[in-house]
Amino acid sequence: MRGFLLDLTYSLRLSRKSPSFTWLAVVCLALGIGVNTSVFSMLNFLFFRPLPVLAPDRLVVLGRDGNQLISWPEYRDLRDRTRLLTGMAASNPTESSLDFDGETHPAAAEAVSLNYPQ
């Protein structure tokens, strides 16, 4: 413990000798911690949060011939006749635009079925 206190007093003496270096080190640490926190928060939001379904490890995406898009009548037919799946939901992601105060802004939109998980 005595060695730690000696190191602490020595570092305080050195920081008083060169306050610009101390300020620069604190700013670099703060920027590094802030950037790291924001990147982790974004990755956590996009990739690490569990999906809002009961068993996300059993979730499948249906498609035909390598294309994930199927028509609404095909979806209804699959939903009504399947015995293999416990439930089905449909989504159709698309690009749209929003008009606000005379300006048009691009927006992502998605049409979903009523049982789509929130």
CA torsion, ordered 43, 44, 48, 54, to nearest 10 deg: -130
pLDDT mean across residues, the chain = 85
Between residues 116 and 37, which one has the greater pLDDT? 37
Tell me the per-residue pLDDT of 30-79, one tens digit each, with 9 for 90 and over.
Answer: 999 999 999 999 999 888 887 777 777 777 777 777 677 778 888 888 88
Is the entire prediction scored with pTM above 0.85? no
Q: What is the Cα–Cα distance from 14 to 8, expressed in whole angstroms? A: 10
At residue 31, φ and ψ (nearest 5 deg) are -65, -45
User: pLDDT band at residue 118, thresholds of 50, 70 and 90?
Assistant: low
With 90 as the cut, is the pLDDT of residue 94 above it?
A: no
